[in-house]
Structure 1
Amino acid sequence: MRFIDSQREARARSRRLVAAFGLTVLLLVLAVNAALAVGWLLSGPLWLAGGWYFPRHFWAVNTGVTLLFVLGGWWLETSQLEHQGGVRLAERMGARAARPSGRLDEQRFVNIVDELSIASGLPRPTAMVVARDQAINAFATGWTPQDAVVAVTQGALDHLTREELQGLVAHELGHIGEGDTRLNLRLAGMVFGLEMVHRLGQRLAEPGEDGRRFMGALMGLCLMGVGWLGWVAGHALQAAVSRQREYLADARAVQWTRSRDGLGGVLRKVMTQQREGLPSRAVGPSLQHLLLVGNGHGALARRFDSHPPLAERVRRIYGRHMGPLPLPAQRTVGDPTVVHA
């Protein structure tokens, strides 16, 4: 794997996709103005003998309100996520602090976090474990490297060798080092802001207390349609950015561990788990991008998947297609073989 070239390519594509977010907001403002203009004309002025007209400051008010909802929604959502902090967000996803003093597998995990933090030059993140998830997975959270958390599932501790666990942790540290945890939270806030336009349209389209719909209902329906298109575009762009950051973190993991079989072995074992249908702890759609491997279900989750296909990630790591790896036999708590490489 030419990890330097891979990193350069992923960063360049990410910058273009983030710029597309700004373009999406601009197009949304134009579309809202057009939709409200059509709604206004159809609600009366189009049929009046006096000809077409728009209220004073019609365009400026529409633009201002749209930006208020989009940017205000973005600010509210990102402020809430930032206030939660890395540890609280990880706890929301079912993680608890690692317990190295009582479990050998968690001691190994904590040691690896310490080793790779030194190797990568990053502040040591808080090590946490999702103890009730038997699938192989991991995630990183935190607004800054000083606030960062790296969490792994119990399935990762049970089924991965030391080399593979190093690759897994290195991947998550790659996200932290590249600022992906902060970027992803900001993008999630922007998508929420785009959704606010759709919600505004819903409120305008609702009937009054007497069950009658007012003149603004038509304009509300127009806003709902435009807002829905903006929401879809935002989700698609967020997923596209996330996929590029996954490639970038994969390349970082190979660079820091100098091993393709570390992270490559993790992804190949995940292939086996998916083939066998091992259930994974459910995570909300807004947090799917934080995981090593997405576990969303349904047609919508597949269409807006924030992770590249496993087969493609493995191909990029090895330079050729590689099949799944068998999982080791389940080990019991306290089994000393849990620390073997």
Structure 2
Amino acid sequence: MRFFELQQQARARTTRLVLLFALAVAGTALGVHLALALCWWTLNWFLGPVEIGFPRSFFAVNVGVTLLLVLGGWWIETSNLKMAGGAERLARRIGAREARPGTSMGEQRLCNIVDEVCIAAHMPRPTVMVMPRHDAINAFATGWDEDDAVVAVTQGALDLLTREELQGIVAHECSHIHEGDTRLNMQLAGMVFGLEMVWDFGDILREKRGLATVFGTAIMAVGSIGWLAGRCLQAAVSREREFLADARAVQWTRSRDGLGGVLRKAMTQRADANRPSDPAWPIAVDHLLLLGHLAEHGGWLDSHPPLAVRIRRIYGRSMAPLPLVQDDTQPATPA
């Protein structure tokens, strides 16, 4: 796997997508102005000989209020996320608890692996947590920076992954922390919330009846397009950061079979219709997970790439699923 090349590609694509996100915000503000201008021209056409000019500072007010809604929504949402009590409190709300290495060999091994990966990555050690009620293979990382970060894995990962595979899953999650992906995702989520506020403002205006209904509907139409563009770009950024974290994991562990084995076992587990269902993940944390809800469809709103695509990028070819056994006797495939 050419992990340095793939990392560079993922970072370059992320930069382009973030710039497109900024253009989507600017385009929404300009679109609101044009929609309201069109409504004003239509009103003049209906009035016939009576012509009403644009109000003073029409452009500045339209664009300014739209940007105020977007940036205000971004500030409110990110402030709420910051005030939620930090990464550890968020992890506990999802169902995680702090690892207990003194009472479990599996959790002792997990803590040792986190220490090893953090030394290799030259980063502070995050808080290590476990989700004991989740039998499916999964993990997540959260935190605004490296000093307030959590890496959590499911009980299914502890039970079904080899030491090498557990290294791969931990390296992937530590990459998200090291690269600032969790902070970036939260910032983009705040911007999407801000774009949604444009639609909400139009909806409130429409309820006032009369001409306000026309102007409110125009704002809602533009706001919905802006929100959809923002959601698509947010999901695209999330997918690129997953590719980046996959490549980082292979770089730090120097093994394709670590993270590759995790993803191949996840394919087996997802294909097993008889496996016990896990407690439902909140949709708001889908982008934090190693394996998201919509990872198989390849849609524009999916926060994760399909498993088959991630596996091909790691190995350079398609690979078969692996059986759900914890076997540390298999030889590793070099990166």
So what's the TM-score if we normalise by structure 2?
A: 0.92
1:221-245 CA distance string (max 9 Å, x none): 1111111111110010011111111
Distance in 1, Cα, partners of 2:70 & 2:165: 42
**Contact 1:282/1:295 (CA < 8 Å) preserved in 2?**
no
**Contact 1:264/1:314 (CA < 8 Å) preserved in 2?**
yes
SS state of the match for residue 196, structure 2?
helix
SS state of the match for residue 148, structure 1?
strand
1:262-295 CA distance string (max 9 Å, x none): 0000000000111114434423333211110102
SS state of the match for residue 240, structure 1?
helix
SS state of the match for residue 322, structure 1?
coil
1:208-233 CA distance string (max 9 Å, x none): xxxxx232111111111111111110
1:248 aligns with 2:244: yes
- Quick check: 301-310 or 284-293, which moved more? 301-310
Distance in 1, Cα, partners of 2:98 & 2:322: 29
Aligned to 2:96: 95
What percent identity do the matched residue pairs reach?
A: 60
SS state of the match for residue 263, structure 1?
helix
Letter paired with 1:325 = L
Distance in 2, Cα, partners of 1:134 & 1:201: 44
Distance in 1, Cα, partners of 2:214 & 2:285: 34
**Contact 2:17/2:236 (CA < 8 Å) preserved in 1?**
yes
SS state of the match for residue 128, structure 1?
strand
Structure 1 gap ranges (5+): 208-212, 330-336
Aligned to 2:15: 15
How large is the RMSD of aligned CA atoms in angstroms?
2.1
Aligned length: 326
SS state of the match for residue 323, structure 2?
coil
- Quick check: 229-238 or 53-62, which moved more? 53-62
Aligned counterpart for 1:289 among listed residues 287, 297, 306: 287
Distance in 1, Cα, partners of 2:258 & 2:296: 30
**Contact 1:98/1:127 (CA < 8 Å) preserved in 2?**
yes
CA-CA distance at 1:296 after TM superposition: 4.5
1:10-67 CA distance string (max 9 Å, x none): 111110001111110111011100112223344x433222225211121111111101
Letter paired with 1:285 = I
- Quick check: 131-140 or 31-40, which moved more? 31-40
Aligned to 2:230: 234
So what's the TM-score if we normalise by structure 1?
A: 0.91
**Contact 1:46/1:52 (CA < 8 Å) preserved in 2?**
no
1:150-189 CA distance string (max 9 Å, x none): 0111111111111100100000011111111111111111
Letter paired with 1:306 = S
Aligned to 2:260: 264
Letter paired with 2:307 = L
Letter paired with 2:231 = H
**Contact 2:77/2:190 (CA < 8 Å) preserved in 1?**
yes
SS state of the match for residue 76, structure 1?
helix
CA-CA distance at 1:205 after TM superposition: 1.5
Structure 2 gap ranges (5+): none
Distance in 2, Cα, partners of 1:284 & 1:60: 40
Please list, as runs of the form range in 1=range in 2, the aligned pairs for 1:40-119 lying within 5 A after superposition.
40-42=40-42, 44-48=43-47, 49-84=49-84, 85-119=86-120
Letter paired with 2:8 = R
1:309-334 CA distance string (max 9 Å, x none): 111111111111101111128xxxxx
Distance in 1, Cα, partners of 2:221 & 2:279: 34
**Contact 1:95/1:131 (CA < 8 Å) preserved in 2?**
yes
